[in-house]
Structure 1
């Protein structure tokens, strides 16, 4: 198996090249094919679930939020619009540039998220809420626990993660997909056992408070919200 460092380099290079053109369209509102539209709608459902949780709690205003793996700002920008103080990052410089451009179109400078090109391992600071959507798919199972531990060290009250769940059906689906390689599938995709993710959260002092699941033809994602365990 390739190392996480190799995966990280592959992901960075991909999303700064042909992957940027593909995924910026998927996460935007331009013309896409049937598969890309399905992924766009699935990802947006995951984003909408997170935004709904904030609205349920009625407490986005003034909260410090870290959006780790922000892409083109699909979550960061709406959260900033709701009044959160968002620090957003992505491993891809081109994604960060696009996110910054989109934010400038929609928000005044003082309300816009701060965007930085960083990988997850280099993030620091302390935030009320740390969010990491659809990023763990780039990390093998043996590294996912380390990443959850690192993200936990940044979060004071809440940690929100999404990942592609590992079960017999999705494992088979992934294997079938590997028979049809193409230029848009240049990164490895790792599925994760929900039990292992929950175990890692518990080991770092979290308990799952809310969860959602999004599944379509080409997109599937388990979303977990974890909160600090009371002493």
Structure 2
């Protein structure tokens, strides 16, 4: 079981995504015009989804995939187009309803079964692959690892997930976020360090059969997230290289600073990039 703190947080997220921000997420996950801030988030989510899909087999016929925290179903649709049998689950009945309404015709053997509920529900069965895109970023590291243990115990191939990295950039973005209109705010995320996550995972028996295959960071304005691939040791195979999306700290923060009507220097005077001589910037 994931524990009481997981259950409490899941309840808070249900309230947010099913009541408070339904319209915002409906627009964000569509082609509708959005604010500059949300446009960077939309672009980042598109890039992250493409990254995770690139780590899945091109031919998924006969494979079962869990889209854990499916939202409006964009990743589920792409996996089904590859032939996968997808179980797409989310805590928000409204978002799942949108996913059903938007579901296009999918030729071939692929299909999607949408569910409302907990992604850790044992009744969902076993899977070849699990994807949890931005559905664990609101939880503490201990809860993330416990959730991965539950999911991993039911997974034959890989568990792909994202976390919020603990970086100086994310700290600045959170501070700047307090200046935004309330409608542009998302639920609080919990940044974690890669080292801390690895240490917790190494002491989790249910994850002993998995290896940390690769990771990739997506930087897009106010979207910053790390993708991580855990694969069964017996299933490991090379993955294609994924190019970095961002031009670095300043490049990532510039759109956010411009949206506030200030310069990068004014928004973050202490976060200059290192020069070629190694001087300046944030300590490594």
Q: Partner residue of 1:51?
A: 53
Q: Distance in 2 between matches of 1:223 and 1:62?
A: 25
Contact kept, 8 Å, 2:81 with 2:107, in 1: the verdict is: no
What is the distance in 1 between the residues matched to 2:215 and 2:61?
A: 23
Written as runs of structure 1 = structure 2, the 5 A alignment for 1:37-76 is 37-54=39-56, 57-76=57-76
1:98 is the counterpart of 2:77 = no
Q: Determine the structure 1 residue equivalent to 2:111.
A: 112
Q: Is the Cα–Cα contact under 8 Å of residues 177 and 185 in structure 2 kept in the other structure? A: no
CA distance in 1, matches of 2:92, 2:221: 27
Does the CA contact (< 8 Å) of 2:88 and 2:112 recur in 1? yes
Would you say the 8 A contact 2:80–2:112 is kept in 1? Answer: yes
The aligned residue for residue 138 of structure 1 is: 138
RMSD: 2.4
Contact 1:130 1:154 in 2 (8 A): no
2-structure distance, mates of 1:181, 1:147: 33
| C-alpha spacing 1:50/1:142, structure 2 compared with 1 (3 Å) | closer
Q: Measure the CA separation in 2 of the matches of 1:183 and 1:118.
A: 25
Residue 212 of structure 2 is aligned with which of 208, 213, 219?
A: 208
Runs (5+) with no aligned partner, structure 2: 236-284
Deviation per CA, 1:168-195: give whole Å up to 9, x if none.
3323432442454614536222112222
Instruction: Give the equivalent residue in structure 1 for 2:121.
Output: 122
Change (3 A) 1:92 1:191: same
CA distance in 2 between counterparts of 1:187 and 1:173 reads 14
Q: Is the 8 A contact 2:62 2:83 kept in 1?
A: yes
TM-score (norm 1): 0.88
CA distance in 2, matches of 1:134, 1:91: 13
Range that drifts further, 144-153 or 91-100: 144-153
Confirm or deny: 8 A CA contact 2:120 2:150 kept in the other structure. yes
Give the C-alpha shift of residue 224 in structure 1: 1.0
Q: Are 2:230 and 1:226 aligned?
A: yes
TM superposition shift of 1:200: 4.1
| CA separation of 1:200 and 1:181: change in aligned 2, threshold 3 A | farther
SS at match of 2:129: strand
Deviation at 1:217, TM superposition (A): 1.2
CA distance in structure 2 between the aligned counterparts of 1:185 and 1:128, rounded to whole angstroms:
35
- Normalising by structure 2, we get a TM-score of 0.73
Give the distance between the partners of 1:191 and 1:74, measured in 2 at CA. Answer: 25
Deviation at 1:85, TM superposition (A): 0.8
CA distance in 1, matches of 2:119, 2:181: 27
Count of aligned residue pairs for this structure pair? 227
Residue equivalent to 1:149: 149
The answer for the alignment partner of 2:161 in structure 1 is: 161
CA distance, structure 2, for counterparts of residue 50 and residue 141 of structure 1:
21
8 Å CA contact 1:7, 1:188 repeated in 2 = no
